[in-house]
Amino acid sequence: MRQPLPFELTKTSSFYEQLQDWIGDVFYDILPSKGYELRDEQIFMAFQLEKAFSNKKVIFGEAGVGTGKTLVYLLYAIAYARYIGKPAIIACADESLIEQLVKKEGDIKKIEKALGMEIDVRLAKSRDQYLCLQKLDRAISQSDTQIYNNIYEELPPFVHDNSSMNQFFRYGDRKDYPSLNEEEWKDIAWDSLQDCLSCSKRHRCGQTLNRDHYRKATDLVVCSHDFYMEHIWTKDSRIREGQLPLLPDPSSVVFDEGHLLEFASQKALTYRISDEMLDLLLNRLQENDVREKTLITIEEVIELNSSLFSLLSEVAKPVKGSERMELQKTPQIMVLANLLLEKINLLAEELVFESELYTIDEYELRIVEEYLDQIIYSLTLLIEDDKGIIWFENGSTGQILVIMPRLIGEILGNRVFKNKIPYIFSSATLSTDGDFTYLSNTLGVDDYLSLSVPSPFDYEEKLAITIHSEEDRTKKWQHILNSITKAQGKSLVLFNNKWDLAEFKTYLLDEQYSDLPVIYEGDAEISNLIQQFQAQEEMVLCAYTLWEGLDIPGSALENVFIASLPFPPYDPVFDAKRSGAKNAYLEVDLPYMLLRLKQGVGRVIRTSTDTGTIHIWLKEEERASVLSEVKKNLPVPATYLF
């Protein structure tokens, strides 16, 4: 049901003029009367944002911490959604930030309370954030652990007994299982190999039920950047297959922490071939009553797949600080890729005959056919696309060949930003010294509006920054350890990658450190870790993805330790960006690092009453090359301990 506008629409002036009048009333009259502080920076941003909505354009809205930028874009998005009759999509950097936006003390609840509005906001989480009933059944049958049986027993009754569901019932969300580590969750979570369309449990699946629920939102749909980009890349194919797109058609789109959209786009646009998954699926297929000709073809595919991945593993070069290993298209790789493609095409033809014999489980056959289609497309890209970027990953899920057709700017420009709707980028760090070129070029945005407003906080009085020189990593870990102990916790330690975090974790284990509780990203579901950290002041949180978006005001977070400057790795994706730049350091490496550094620094002071410290470590060679740029991008002068 369509929601009423928050103001009465008259015929004497346009909607946009009346929208601006209402925004003025909210900030000048209504919010101050409810005890909210009137901020010049917030009001400036509010009136600049009207131009993006009235002209249906992209706007880069850079606003410092404490300006209240979230409140501004929410007011516009809600009013415009009700005017157009379509919900606004609010895309956050990751799944944990979705939860922060809708928490009880968040800005959406503040608007409801202050303006007496009832806002229809619904969460659209990524598919891998939901329990897969098929995989749960498989995990129970293959595992001796009791945890999966417990999850099964706790499922709502209608899942087991096929009874009717009288109203929407949310279940199966990743955050409902905070005690599971990431590996345990992967065993039962949805993944891209699941054929939801033919699944017999589809209509009782928590993911399906939630998707039906959020598609009916009238005001706001909140999702992650990853899920929004997955929606963009799969929209056309889903429509061709007779399915609805993952997200509803929006009135406007807001990218909160918009400087991170590039990475979600890259993730969504990649094609992945796993050595273990193909072997697993084909070995399971061999257990069925299939023809001898098909069995021989399966064995040939498995053998060629093994040969290709053995060669890839030999020639792939590790890249420090990245999971992406460098690969070159050698003649040997291309020969094996062509042979494998030829055999998989032959197997796909054989499976058409097998399907007519009805000797293979239909659900299992659909999964194999869909995965073979993915591999055929991916190998074709590998062989034919000279501009494509390839790399190799070797992790807990096996060896993976990854192919990305090209850098994402051109595709985003054509698929997303050509649409005539308002696109709002919101972040404290969208530019480098007021220049938005790096972000606009990366995302393929040629025509845009922009604004920059500083934070209203008096950082000189509230924040102390110390820059240290890293001469020895062990000494650095010891210094951080002593500092967090002296501070009695209340500390976030930020690492540039998970390997540095693992090294610090090993150091603490070797030291048998027990003075304070220390929790690590990856050991449990991330929003649960954040809740633990916020609830207990004498605690330390170590993370590598929480450089942005983490909003913990008050005494729970008073110290941030930045273990190293967050330069991008020299992996295939960033190397491709570097190769397209005139000056790779000035156009790629430095802007990326400075934007991320400013985000990390912004984790401490979240309200006008907060105080805190920042500690940053520079390598000795960085002091000469980058210290001057770091100085320019810090909110207060730093103290130097070298």
Q: Which of 511, 550, 518, 526 is nearest to 428 (CA)?
A: 550
Residue 597: which region, alpha, beta or left (left: phi > 0; alpha: psi -120 to 50)? alpha
Residue 640: what pLDDT?
92
Distance of CA 503 to the CA centre of its chain: 24
Q: Give the pLDDT score at 164.
A: 60
User: 271-405 is classed in which CATH architecture?
Assistant: Up-down Bundle (1.20)
Q: What is the pLDDT of residue 225?
A: 93
DSSP letter (8 states) at residue 85: T
Inter-residue contact 286 to 248 (CB < 8 Å): no
CA distance 313 to 319: 14
Low-confidence residues of the chain: pLDDT under 50: none
pLDDT digit string (tens) for 289-332?
Answer: 888 999 999 999 999 999 999 999 999 999 888 888 999 889 99
Integer angstrom CA distances of residue 404 from 226, 391, 588: 16, 9, 19
**pLDDT of amino acid 420:** 93
Strands 389-395, 398-404: pairing kind:
antiparallel
The set of residues, in sequence order, having a beta carbon less than 8 Å from that of 523 and lying 6+ positions away, is 181, 529
**Helix 69-84 and helix 15-25: axis angle, to 10°?**
140
Tell me which amino acid residue 39 is: R
- Residue 500: its pLDDT value, please? 95
Residue 563 near residue 478 (C-beta atoms within 8 A): no
Torsion, CA 49, CA 54, CA 60, CA 65, rounded to 10: 20
Query: Would you call 121 exposed, middle or buried from its count of C-beta atoms within 10 A (0-12, 13-18, 19+)?
Result: buried
d(CA 248, CA 216): 8
pLDDT at position 144 is: 81
What's the rounded Cα separation, in Å, for the pair 435 and 450?
Answer: 10
Q: What's the pLDDT at 395?
A: 66
DSSP E strand stretches across 527-582: 540-543, 559-562
Range 515-554 burial, b when 16+ CB lie within 10 A, else e: ebebbbbbebbbbbbbbebbeeeebbbbbbbbbbbbbbbe
Dihedral angle sign, alpha carbons of residues 574, 575, 576, 579: positive
CATH class of 463-640: alpha beta
Percent pLDDT > 70 in the chain is: 97
- The strands making up 271-274's β-sheet, listed across from edge to edge, are 271-274, 398-404, 389-395, 325-326
DSSP state of 586: I
pLDDT (tens digit per residue) in 102-149: 877 788 999 999 999 999 999 999 888 999 998 999 899 888 889 999
Domain parsing of the chain, residue ranges: 126-199, 271-405, 463-640
Identify which of 426, 431, 548, 455 has the alpha carbon closest to the alpha carbon of residue 49. Answer: 426
Contact by Cβ (8 Å): 501, 520? yes
- CA separation for the pair 500, 161 (Å, rounded): 48
Cα 585 to its chain centre, rounded Å, is: 26
Share of the chain above pLDDT 90, in %: 52
Please tell me the total number of residues recorded for the chain in this structure.
642
User: What's the Cα-to-Cα distance from 121 to each of 74, 348, 560, rounded to whole Å?
Assistant: 11, 44, 33
